[in-house]
Copies of this chain bind each other. A is one copy, B any other.
Amino acid sequence: MLQISGTYTDLYQLTMAQVHYLNHNNQTAVFDYFFRKLPFKNGYVIFSGLESLLEALEQFQFTTQDLDYLQQQGFDSSFINYLKDFKFKGAIYSVQEGELVFPTQPVLQVKASLIEAQLIETILLNYLNFQTLIATKASRIRQVAPQSTLIDFGMRRAQAMGAYFASRAAFIGGFDTTSNVKAAADFKIPVTGTMAHAFVQSYDSELEAFQSYAQAHPQNCILLIDTYNCLKSGLPNAIKVAKSLQQQGEQLKGIRIDSGDLAYLSQQCRQQLDAEGLTEVKIAVSNQLDEYVIKSLQEQNAPIDVYGVGTNLVIGHPDAALDGVYKLAYANQKPRLKLSENIAKSTLPHQKQVYRLRDQNQQLIGANIIAKAEEQPDFNQMHHPFDLTKTMPLDQLKFEALLQPVMLNGKRQQAPTPLVDIKRFAEQQLAELPAEYKRFTNPHLYKVGLSTALLEAREKLRTTYKS
């Protein structure tokens, strides 16, 4: 059984920390968490995983077992002694979970002693990269089916225990329910399910299988109709069951189709159900769905009420990883830079703040500016982060600070946010975002720029380091 503790990390975090410890090199450091590339060619990313991270940081400690293992690996005993009492006591500045975020901007900053900041890097990246990826994937699916019920069915093909956070993030990104009972219970996600082919097969007849299920779950019965033949067998049997449920004063909730031409089959099913007066019976579909298949089904006006999405959702197909990184911006009382031949891979020094820009009517203009934390939010231009010739004037705009302290001295600043509130916040943010940034294909580029002071600080450091 996997236990999340101090060794849930890369070895080098510990070997580097030991060097810092032995050299008493442990002044305040600032690290930025950000990503460089929009996944799925989407126009925005939904930041997700913050609450999971904060919970993990509050509990983060080295167990006796951890310390024994590190001793066997030859770590210094004084350092192991230090780890025995280790607690994260630093600060986390972050955008809200569910916020829309964009490449280059710091999404979260850690300000802590160098050792603390280093020891939490791996778990931070491991938690935030994945949930942010999946919330964004879920949101893409939600965008193409705004009125449909979306169910996460992905647990069996998920990357093992990745399933747990996948279901959480899918809910934030716009899914309604999950089949994953553990995640549902722990995160208070509505849990739903239908039935499997094996259930139908285990009976000598399909009708008998349907009747047994309906009898045991009369109020929550979705019949899987494609085990033998969807239209010739499954649908007529489902209609029989629906009618006998009606006689008991109950209502068949739905049918599910898991193979074949979902557009054609759903149309046929809807017609026949309606002809029998079963207009309330919902049609659910599944089978390798993703936002492209669902978009196509929607465009064909397939009368589908419920989409069950599995593999492609929970693995974040096709990207399957977000390229989020954790880069040093400040240490030992100096701003720090990672130099690169490619300016787009250089990092941004100093502790920073990110502002969202709004016009006088509070409308979003599709741009964020990154500035040094101590700057007054009163900028008259912003600079392209990598193309030094490009600037954008900022006239009559309002600046909304996005990075807020969510943890100080290792303590959360608010009670944990319920998941449903995070989901609602993401919905509100999306509702505000102009349509062109939500476009399915080739969305408009949301601009992220630098303040003049930040640009100058970076260029000065680049020049120093190059010489």
Residues of A whose CB lies within 8 Å of any CB of B are 1-5, 7-16, 18-20, 22-23, 25, 29, 31, 59, 65-66, 69, 73-74, 76, 114, 118, 121-122, 125-127, 129-131, 153, 155-166, 179-182, 184-186, 191-199, 201-204, 212-213, 215-217, 220, 227-229, 259-260, 311, 315-318, 320-324, 326-328, 331-332, 334, 336-341, 345, 465
Structural contact, A160 and B328, CB atoms closer than 8 A: no
Please state if B318 and A311 are interface contacts (CB–CB under 8 Å). Answer: no
Collect the chain B residues with CB atoms within 8 Å of residue A164's CB.
2, 160-161
| Residues of B close to A121: CB separation below 8 A | 156, 196, 198
| CB proximity of A45 to chain B, nearest CB, Å | 15
- A190 → chain B closest CB, angstroms: 10
Separation of A314 and B127 alpha carbons in the complex (Å) = 15
Instruction: State whether A165 touches B156 (Cβ < 8 A).
Output: no
Closest beta carbon of chain B to A157's beta carbon, Å? 4
In contact, A2 and B182 (Cβ under 8 angstroms):
yes
Residue in B229, B331, B334 whose CB lies within 8 Å of A339: B229
Take A130-B160, A156-B125, A160-B162 as given contacts and tell me if A179 and B10 are in contact as well, using a CB distance cutoff of 8 Å: yes
Q: Knowing that A8-B182, A25-B202, A159-B162 are A-B contacts, what are 10 other residue pairs whose CB atoms are under 8 Å apart, sorted by A's residue number? A: A15-B216, A118-B196, A130-B160, A131-B160, A160-B164, A161-B164, A202-B332, A315-B321, A316-B320, A318-B318
| Contact (Cβ within 8 A) A126 B156 | yes
Contact A126 B11 (CB under 8 A): no
A16 and B196 form a contact (CB under 8 A):
yes
Residue among A118, A159, A204, A217 having the largest count of chain B Cβ atoms under 10 Å? A159
Q: Which residues of B contact A259 (CB under 8 A)?
A: 340-341, 345
Is the beta-carbon distance between A182 and B315 smaller than 8 angstroms? no
A220, B16: Cα distance in complex, Å: 12
Given that A158-B130, A191-B73, A260-B341 are known contacts, is A213 also in contact with B181, CB under 8 Å in the complex? Answer: no
27 contacts between A and B (CB under 8 A): A1-B3, A1-B59, A2-B2, A7-B182, A9-B181, A10-B153, A10-B156, A10-B179, A12-B196, A15-B220, A19-B212, A19-B215, A20-B202, A25-B202, A122-B155, A122-B156, A126-B158, A126-B160, A129-B156, A130-B162, A158-B159, A160-B161, A160-B166, A201-B337, A227-B339, A259-B340, A320-B320
Minimum CB distance partner of A18 in chain B:
B216
Q: What residues on B are CB-neighbors of A203 within 8 Å?
A: 25, 332
Structural contact, A19 and B213, CB atoms closer than 8 A: yes
CB distance from A47 to the nearest CB of B (A): 15
A315 touches B159 (CB 8 A): yes
> When the two chains form their complex, are residues B126 and A163 in contact, meaning their CB atoms are under 8 A apart?
yes
Instruction: Write out the residue numbers on chain B whose beta carbons fall within 8 Å of the beta carbon of A114.
Output: 202
A157 touches B19 (CB 8 A): no
Residue in B12, B59, B201, B228 whose beta carbon sits within 8 Å of that of A328 in the complex: B201
A151 CB to nearest chain B CB (Å)? 10
A173 and B339 alpha carbons, distance in the complex (Å): 36
Residues from chain B with a CB closer than 8 A to the CB of A25 are 202-203, 212
Q: Report the separation of the CA atoms of residues A442 and B160 in the bound assembly, to the nearest whole angstrom.
A: 29
Residue of B nearest to A349 (CB): B201
> Which chain B residue shows the least CB distance to A70?
B181
Kindly list chain B residues whose C-beta atoms are within 8 Å of the C-beta of A215.
Answer: 19
Q: Report the separation of the CA atoms of residues A66 and B126 in the bound assembly, to the nearest whole angstrom.
A: 27
B residues less than 8 Å from A7 (CB atoms)? 181-182, 185
Nearest-CB residue, chain B, relative to A217: B15
Residues of B contacting A227 with CB < 8 Å?
Answer: 338-339
Cβ–Cβ contact B12 & A194, under 8 A: yes
A165 to chain B, nearest CB (A): 4
| Residues in B whose Cβ lies below 8 Å from that of A317 | 320-321
In the complex, which residues of chain B have a beta carbon less than 8 angstroms from the beta carbon of A181? 7-11, 14, 69
- Across the two chains, which residue of chain B brings its CB closest to A10? B179
Instruction: Decide yes or no: A193 and B15 within 8 Å by CB, A2-B164, A153-B10 being known contacts.
Output: yes
Is the pair A465, B331 in contact by a Cβ cutoff of 8 Å? no
